[in-house]
């Protein structure tokens, strides 16, 4: 008999599995939820054990307030929480966990066991839950606090389990999350095990000391302290000196009211504070703690609670920017200029100008285009802008000085007469050897970024960095696939200290790194000794090259590159390649172009950017109106 009802209420176990799709994405998600529960329970010591990267077992132990038998039974039901009582509570969330879906979701995709005891109770209670079965509760003997065991994750959802990554990758995600907890809650003790190996036992410490414990003492000591300033948004913590900047966003952390968050807007605020102090593509490290009235921020806008929404975006943006600028100024790293507050994500900025001793005028200027939108004296503002443009034009059109000419001669090994002489015309019908000879003669570097070479029918412009990246990428892929790589043994081994996440990543990549030419040995203090490096890595940059390689690989992986060997080769090429702004000799440029011509993909870099531009004589003639 056909029914008229096509809509039905889902069974609880299916609804729980759907909820688990948001809450439990991988073992790291479970660790995050359970550690948050432990902190909310008032624990000052939290221990985490992950076996088989959390796939076989996740064991969390805390010394918090525990639960009664009745609360224990309620804890695994959906929408059950001790942290929300009314709708008004959602407007001022102060706990880390609050949705009441974590334990119910975990119980639907794994075997769950919870042991708990309150300090005043004679004994504790033990709950065991298996998907689609009634939970069992019985008395047990244990110390006050709570222990949670999650076994055989996704055993009843094989489609979810097969999409988990390798153990090293999954453990690295857990280690990253534990690192954030350790930095955010420095007043707590964290004990972390990988299988039976103790990764660390962090005692309560001051913020900077905790940073040194997990990221390295040398790194922490170089950070600049940020002093808390009064205001609606209180910002304190540490930011890096310009010399600590990296090519990736590694070691950048924001914590809001004791919660790790991700915010592009706040990242932009920090970067504007470093304007003119860093080159393009460099990112400073920082560990920033923000405190704000919970009623002025919404932490419930992301399924994993990574992102937040501020009631006043401008307020948070300006507080972070002002705090970082103040820290840089105290150490004479930022110019002494009046700090200008501007609306977040807008290019408009208020400036003042005028002669000393006279009334100063103001104008609103587009920082990207230089356009003056309004001002208290428009003619003066316009005159100032016009004067700046004229001065800039005079600088660009100034004649070449003798000093610049001497530098040209030193670079290309020629005298001023030959540098200004008429170029030799190449006959396209000339023998190839003759063309090569003349092309090599007319090869030079432009602004230490591009290689220009006269060709048989025009001009070739090569991006030196993109070309070198292509060459190194091809070489790295051949090495990873089995072709022998050449190493240079170090006279004195270089010691490399890494945090837990980087050590895990290094172990994961070690076989392929060895094929690339890195030779390393583990030391007793959890550090590594670099004993040999690939020939492409410059002497003196062994440690930074390997660190940047790990950072670049992590960033490429986060972008979704599933071919990890290709990602590793691309990361290696990006970090070992010559940079824009580095001077090259004529011999080095010739060698680079020869290696590029031997590549199977000489036209594009590994990230898809063009390597060379060809300008024919016909195109040049057309541009000069000679056609």
Q: What is the pLDDT of residues 243-253, one digit of tens each?
A: 898 878 889 99
Residue of 170, 37, 156 whose CA lies nearest to 107 = 156
Fold of 402-627: formyl-coa transferase, domain 3 (3.30.1540)
| 302 vs 209, more confident | 209
Does the structure show a pLDDT above 80 at 449? Answer: yes
Kindly state the tokens that stand for 69.
Answer: 């038998």
Does the structure show a pLDDT above 50 at 417? Answer: no
Kindly state the tokens that stand for 320.
Answer: 């972070």
| 569 vs 61, more confident | 61
Q: How far is the C-alpha of 84 from the C-alpha of 326, rounded, in Å?
A: 39
* Helices and strands: H and E segment counts in the chain: 20, 25
| 627 vs 147, more confident | 147
Q: What is the mean pLDDT of residues 377-401?
A: 38
Does the structure show a pLDDT above 60 at 2? Answer: no
Q: How far is the C-alpha of 65 from the C-alpha of 233, rounded, in Å?
A: 31
Q: Place 78 in a pLDDT band, splitting at 50, 70 and 90.
A: confident
| 175 vs 401, more confident | 175
Does the structure show a pLDDT above 70 at 381? Answer: no
Q: How far is the C-alpha of 17 from the C-alpha of 24, rounded, in Å?
A: 9
- Give pLDDT tens digits for 531-584: 888 888 877 778 888 888 888 787 777 665 557 788 888 888 888 888 888 889
| 402 vs 130, more confident | 130
Q: What is the mean pLDDT of residues 362-391?
A: 43
% of the chain residues with pLDDT over 70 = 72
Buried b / exposed e over 331-363, threshold 16 CB at 10 Å, is: eebbeeeeeeebebeeeeeebeeeeeeeeebeb
Q: Place 359 in a pLDDT band, splitting at 50, 70 and 90.
A: low
202-216, 278-292, 375-389: which has the minimum mean pLDDT? 375-389
CATH number for the segment(s) 12-204:
3.30.565.10
- Give pLDDT tens digits for 115-170: 999 999 999 999 999 988 889 999 999 999 999 999 999 998 888 888 888 888 89
pLDDT at 303: 55
pLDDT at 344: 42
DSSP strand pairing (234-239 vs 286-291):
antiparallel
Rounded to the nearest integer, the mean pLDDT of the chain is 78
pLDDT at 97: 56
61-65, 193-197, 275-279: which has the minimum mean pLDDT? 275-279
Q: Place 14 in a pLDDT band, splitting at 50, 70 and 90.
A: low
% of the chain residues with pLDDT over 90 = 33
Does the structure show a pLDDT above 70 at 350? Answer: no
Domain ranges within the chain, ordered by starting residue? 12-204, 209-330, 348-397, 402-627
pLDDT at 396: 36
Which one of 207-216, 355-364, 478-487 scores highest in mean pLDDT?
207-216
173-177, 240-244, 440-444: which has the minimum mean pLDDT? 440-444
Question: What are the residues facing 288 on neighbouring strands?
Answer: 237, 254
CA distances in angstroms from 357 to 335, 340, 350, 353, 596, listed in the order given? 22, 21, 20, 12, 61
Question: What are the residues facing 60 on neighbouring strands?
Answer: 48, 148
- Give pLDDT tens digits for 420-429: 333 333 343 3
94-108, 114-128, 354-368, 392-406: which has the minimum mean pLDDT? 392-406
Does the structure show a pLDDT above 70 at 11? Answer: no
Does the structure show a pLDDT above 80 at 23? Answer: no
Q: Place 64 in a pLDDT band, splitting at 50, 70 and 90.
A: very high
CB-CB contact of 129 with 151 (8 Å):
no
- Please indicate whether the domains covering 209-330 and 402-627 agree at the CATH topology level: no
Question: What are the residues facing 140 on neighbouring strands?
Answer: 124
CATH architecture of the domain with residue range 209-330: 2-Layer Sandwich (3.30)
CA distances in angstroms from 309 to 86, 91, 267, 332, 616, listed in the order given? 21, 12, 14, 34, 54
* In the block, residue with structure tokens 């995600």: 173
Kindly state the tokens that stand for 247.
Answer: 């090519």
Q: What is the mean pLDDT of residues 185-189?
A: 96
Does the structure show a pLDDT above 80 at 619? Answer: yes
Q: What is the mean pLDDT of residues 83-92?
A: 51
CB-CB contact of 142 with 124 (8 Å):
yes
């Amino acid at each position: 008999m056909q029914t008229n009802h096509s809509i039905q209420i889902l069974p609880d176990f299916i609804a729980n599995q759907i909820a688990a799709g948001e809450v439990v994405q991988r073992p790291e998600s479970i660790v995050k939820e359970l550690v948050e529960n432990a902190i909310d329970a008032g624990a000052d010591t939290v221990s985490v054990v992950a076996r088989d990267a959390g796939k076989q077992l996740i064991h969390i132990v805390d010394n918090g307030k525990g639960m009664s038998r009745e609360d224990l039974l309620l804890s695994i039901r959906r929408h059950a929480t001790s942290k929300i009582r009314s709708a008004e509570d959602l407007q001022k969330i102060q706990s880390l966990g609050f949705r009441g879906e974590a334990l119910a979701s975990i119980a639907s995709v794994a075997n769950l066991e919870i042991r708990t005891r309150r300090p005043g109770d004679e004994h504790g209670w033990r709950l065991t839950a298996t998907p689609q079965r009634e939970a069992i509760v019985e008395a047990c003997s244990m110390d006050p606090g709570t222990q949670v065991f999650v076994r055989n994750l996704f055993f009843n959802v094989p489609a979810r389990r097969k999409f988990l990554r390798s153990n090293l990758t999954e453990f690295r995600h857990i280690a990253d999350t534990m690192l954030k907890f350790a930095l955010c809650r420095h007043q707590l003790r964290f004990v972390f095990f990988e299988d039976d190996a103790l990764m660390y036992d962090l005692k309560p410490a001051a913020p900077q000391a905790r940073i040194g414990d997990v990221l390295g003492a040398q790194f922490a000591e170089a950070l600049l302290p940020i002093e808390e300033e009064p205001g609606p948004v209180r910002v304190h913590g540490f930011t890096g000196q310009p010399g600590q900047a990296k090519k990736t966003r590694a070691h950048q952390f924001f914590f809001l009211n004791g919660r790790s968050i991700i915010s592009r807007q706040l990242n932009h605020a920090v970067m504007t504070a470093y304007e003119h102090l860093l080159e393009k593509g460099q990112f400073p490290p920082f560990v920033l703690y923000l405190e704000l009235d919970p009623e002025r921020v919404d932490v419930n806008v992301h399924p994993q609670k990574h992102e937040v929404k501020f009631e006043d975006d401008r307020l948070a943006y300006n507080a972070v920017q002002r705090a970082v600028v103040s820290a840089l100024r105290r150490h004479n790293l930022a110019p002494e200029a009046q700090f200008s507050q501007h609306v977040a994500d807008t290019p408009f900025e208020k400036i003042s100008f005028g002669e000393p001793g006279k009334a100063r005028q103001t104008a609103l200027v587009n920082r990207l285009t230089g356009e003056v939108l309004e001002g208290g004296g428009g003619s003066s503002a316009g005159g100032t802008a016009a004067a700046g443009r004229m001065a800039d034009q005079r600088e660009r059109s100034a004649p070449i000085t003798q000093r610049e000419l001497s530098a040209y001669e030193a670079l290309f090994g020629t005298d001023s007469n030959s540098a200004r002489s008429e170029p030799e015309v190449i006959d396209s019908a000339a023998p190839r050897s003759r063309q090569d000879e003349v092309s090599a003669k007319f090869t030079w570097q432009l602004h230490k970024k591009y290689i220009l070479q006269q060709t048989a029918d025009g001009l070739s412009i090569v991006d030196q960095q993109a070309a070198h990246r292509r060459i190194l990428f091809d070489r790295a892929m051949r090495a990873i696939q089995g072709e022998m790589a050449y190493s240079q043994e170090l006279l004195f081994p270089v010691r490399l200290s890494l945090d837990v996440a980087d050590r895990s990543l290094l172990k994961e990549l070690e076989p392929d790194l060895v094929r690339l030419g890195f030779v390393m040995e583990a030391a007793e203090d959890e550090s590594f000794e670099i004993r040999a490096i690939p020939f492409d890595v410059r002497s003196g940059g062994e440690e930074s090259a390997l660190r940047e390689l790990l950072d670049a690989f992590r960033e490429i992986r986060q972008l979704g590159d599933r071919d990890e060997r290709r990602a590793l080769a691309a990361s290696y090429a990006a970090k070992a390649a010559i940079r824009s702004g580095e001077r090259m000799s004529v011999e080095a440029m010739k060698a680079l172009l020869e290696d590029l011509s031997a590549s199977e993909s000489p036209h594009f870099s590994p990230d898809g950017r063009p390597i060379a531009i060809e300008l024919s004589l016909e195109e040049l003639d057309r541009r000069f109106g000679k056609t």
